[in-house]
Amino acid sequence: MSLREITVHGQPAVELSATTGDQVTVALHGGHVLSWRSADGTERLYLSPLAVFDRRAAIRGGVPVCFPQFNQRGPLVKHGFARNLPWQVVPGAAADTVVLSLKDSEKTRATWPEQFELRLSVHVPEAHVLRIELQVRNSGTTPWSFTAALHSYLRVNDLEDAQLHGLKGTARWDAVRDERSTESRDALRFGEEFDSVYASPAHPLVLRAPAGELRIAASSTCPETVVWNPGPALCARLADMPADGWRHMLCVEAAAIDTPVELAPGTDVRLWQQLDARPSSSSTS
């Protein structure tokens, strides 16, 4: 394993070259996983070629950390402040792992008065497998609650040739139409704007495309799965996405959003998502 400091578009980042042959790049801005090249050299995450790297705005693509608020469900900036702040590398991480941390500061307490510590562990347990874990700790003296998501942008060659399996029978809120239902389809297909919050199933999801499969598992502390793609019309209005960017990505997000997570002083919770691109195996959850 090797871990080295690099710059990406002028921003500080770290690059993990795992003993498995996988390679992961994480920006310090936002504790943001920018790239995961699995052991065969295939890029598994989508990073917009128009993403803004100014150390202020959130980076479009990769895996943003949404905390302590998901989307605009509260008074804070959209998806919370964690993805817009500089994180610190924690030394002494385990093999094939990089760990970053973010703690409360005068800046965070100006909009959210709580004391906290986040630790993001990015781990390659096996070749073609990536696990991202967010540990949230209440380091203060009063209880507080939060919502969060690991906002993974998964790369596909052409989304219209891809299918997402594993959500049939789960409760769904369609945010585009503001409708609630139970998902009836064996596989989701995409081509227009798609924005839905699902109750997470107990089994991994499978993203199938002509190039292969990606299995997506999440911890039980993530009771929701968010599936999002802007579609052609919305994508054309996003300044940090190319007009055809929607074709090359699908967000499948491990999330805890419908019921805020309550943390007593001195306690913590871990939320994780595992991406498994092994040619012939099944993820463990």
| Catalytic residue list | 151, 253
How far apart CA 169 and CA 174 sit, in angstroms, is 15
How far apart CA 243 and CA 249 sit, in angstroms, is 12
The residues with which 225 forms a beta bridge, in sequence order, are: 198, 254
In the three-class reduction of DSSP (H, G, I as helix; E, B as strand; rest coil), residue 36 is classed as strand
Q: Counting every residue, how long is the chain?
A: 285
Q: What share of the chain is helix, strand, coil (3-state, %, to 5)?
A: 5, 45, 45
DSSP string, 192-243: S-EEEEEEPPSS-EEEEETTEEEEEEE-TT--EEEEEE-HHHHHTT-TTS-T
How far apart CA 261 and CA 94 sit, in angstroms, is 28
Cβ atoms of residues 42 and 157 within 8 Å: no
Q: Produce one character per residue of 95-121: b if its CB has 16 or more CB atoms within 10 Å, e if not.
A: ebbbbbebebeeebeeebebbbebbbb
Please give, one letter per residue, the 3-state secondary structure of 106-122.
HHHHCCCCCCEEEEEEE
Instruction: Enter the tokens of residue 180.
Output: 């609630």
Q: Among 58, 79, 52, which residue's Cα sits nearest to residue 68?
A: 79
Give the CA radius of gyration of the chain: 18
